[in-house]
Chains A and B, each alone.
Chain A
Amino acid sequence: MKLWGVALVGLLLGLVAGLIVTWFVVPLEYYDTYPPMLDGPYRHEWIRMTVWVYGLEGDWERTERRLLNIESSEIRVVAADVLEQATVTGQPVEILERLAELAAAYGAATPGVAIYGQGDTVPATGTPAAGAVPAQATPTQAPVSSSPTRTLVPTVTPSLTPTPTITETSAIRIISQTLTCATEPSIAVSLELSRTVEVRGREEQEVVGLPVREIWLLWDDGADRAITGFRPDLGLGYADFDVIPGRSYNLYVDSPYGRPVLAVQVEPCPPDEGAGWISRYLVLRDETEARAASDTLTATLTLTGTGVLSATVLPTSTLMLTATLALTQTATPAP
C-alpha cells in the first residue's frame, strides 16, 4: 500500500471515531443560551409570555429586546393567538389594543388585529361615559312674574328660572328585534351607528358596526360581558351571550349602570313554534351624538312690557349631556 493510501485509512478511521465521539459520546451541549436558541415549544412559551406582559405593561422597548433575533413569522402567530385568547377571556380593551398593536408590528393581519389595532379600525364614536343611558334635557319654563309699566326703565324682574326636566332616555335605541326558537337560547346584539358621510358631494347615511364596545348582561346574582367585534364575519358591532332558560336579564351597553337597554326574561317558545326557548337578536343604534346635537334648543318668549331680557341657561344633566337653552324675552310697551 502506498503512503497516501495509509494516510487515507488513518483519516477515515480518525473521522469515524471522531464523529462517534462528537455526536454520541460527548454531544454538543448548550449553556448560557438565550431565547432564540430555545427549542420550539419553549421559545413559543417565551414569546407568549412576552406578549402577555406587553399587553399588561406596555413597555415596547423591553418587549423588542425580549424578542430580539426571533423570527417575526413565529412571533406573529403567537401574538395573534394571545390576542384571541385575551379577547375570549374578556381582558380589558386597553390590553387588547396593546396586543393588537404588537401583533400588527410583527405582521399579523387577523380579524382581531383589524378590530383592536389602530389601522383599519372603525373608530368607536361618541363617549357614552354614562353608559347606555345618557339623558335628554327637556327644558320647561317657570311662570314669569312681570309688571309691565310705561316707564323707560324696564321693570320686568328677570326671574326666569328654567327648570329643565331631565328625562332619562337611552341613547341606545333598539332598531329591530328578531326572535327565534332554540334549544340553547342566546341574546345577540349588533351595535351600530348611523352617520352622515359625503359621497361625491352628496350627503348619504351610512350604517357602520361599532367594535370594541362593552355589552353587559346582568342577572340577579351575576353578570357577563362581551366586547363587540370579536366575530367580524357577523359584523363589527356583533356580540352574543348564552342565556339560561327562565332567567331574567338586563342588557346594558358600555357600562352596567343606569337604565338597561333591554330587560327581558328568557321565555319558552309559543306552543306552535315547538319546544325550546326564545333567542333574541337585537340591532341597537347608538344615537348619542344625534341626541347631543338635538338637545341644543332655542326658545323665544315675547312678553308685554318694557325692556329686553336675555338669559342663557345651561342645564347639565348628571349624565354628561349638556343642553343649551337660549331664552330671549322681549318686553314691548302696552298700547
Chain B
Amino acid sequence: MKRLLFFLGGIVLGIGLAVLIGWVLLPLQPQDVSPDSMRDDYQAEYVRLVAVAYRAEEDPAVAEQRLRELDGTPFTAPLVDLAEVWIDAGRSPDLVAPLAELARALGVDTPAMAPYLQDATP
C-alpha cells in the first residue's frame, strides 16, 4: 500500500513537473502566432493599418494577403465589419475613408461606405 502511494505520488509530481515544463518553461514554439490570435482591439488596429498602408503601397494583392491572415470569411469581412462599426459609431471620415477605399479596391461596396468613398476621392 505504501509503495502504491509513493508510485502515485511520483506520477502526480511528474505530471505537475511536465505541465510546468511543457506549458511554462519550455513550451514548443507555436507554429503560427498570426494576427488572428491578437486581441480584438489589436485586430481592429491591424485592419486599419492594412487600409492606410494600402494608400501608400497601392498593392491590393498585398492588402488582401494581410487581411486573409485574420481568417475572416470572406477575407474582407473584418474590413467591412470594422468600417460599418465605425460608421455606426460616427467615427471620423479620416478613419473610415481608408477602409472604404480598400474595400472598394477589393471589390466590396456597401451603401454605408459610399459617402466615404466620395469624400476620399482625390
Contact = CB atoms under 8 A, between A and B. Distances in A.
Given A23-B22, A38-B33, A14 B55 contact: no
Given A11-B13, A34-B39, A42-B69, A48 B53 contact: yes
Interface string A39-65: 100100110111011011100000000
B118 interface: no
A294 to B, nearest CB: 41
A4 B2 CA distance: 11
Contacts of B23: 22, 28
Contact of A10 (B8, B33, B37, B55): B8
A70 interface: no
Contact of A28 (B30, B35, B49, B56): B30
B46 interface: yes
B106 interface: no
B21 to A, nearest CB: 6
Given A7-B9, A10-B7, A42 B34 contact: yes
Interface string B23-41: 1000110101111011100
A27 interface: yes
Contacts of A272: none
A135 B95 CA distance: 44
B10 A33 contact: no
Interface string A230-272: 0000000000000000000000000000000000000000000
B113 interface: no
Q: How large is the interface on A (under 10, 10 to 19, 20 to 34, 35 or more residues)?
A: 35 or more
Contacts of B2: 3
Given A10-B6, A38-B33, A56-B55, A33 B11 contact: no
B35 A13 contact: no
Contact of B56 (A3, A16, A22, A56): A56
**Secondary structure of the B contact surface, majority rule:** helix
B113 to A, nearest CB: 20
Contacts of A38: 33-35, 37-38
Given A11-B17, A15-B17, A34 B42 contact: yes
A57 B34 CA distance: 26
B9 A10 contact: yes
Contacts of B38: 32-35, 38
Nearest to B35: A42
A122 B105 CA distance: 40
A42 B14 contact: no
A199 interface: no
A55 to B, nearest CB: 7
A24 to B, nearest CB: 8
A28 B27 contact: yes
Nearest to A22: B22
Interface of B: 2-3, 6-19, 21-23, 27-28, 30, 32-35, 37-39, 42, 45-46, 49-50, 52-53, 55-57, 66, 69
Given A16-B14, A34-B42, 19 more contacts: A10-B9, A10-B12, A11-B10, A13-B10, A13-B11, A14-B14, A15-B14, A18-B19, A22-B19, A27-B28, A28-B30, A33-B38, A33-B42, A34-B38, A38-B35, A42-B34, A49-B49, A53-B53, A56-B52
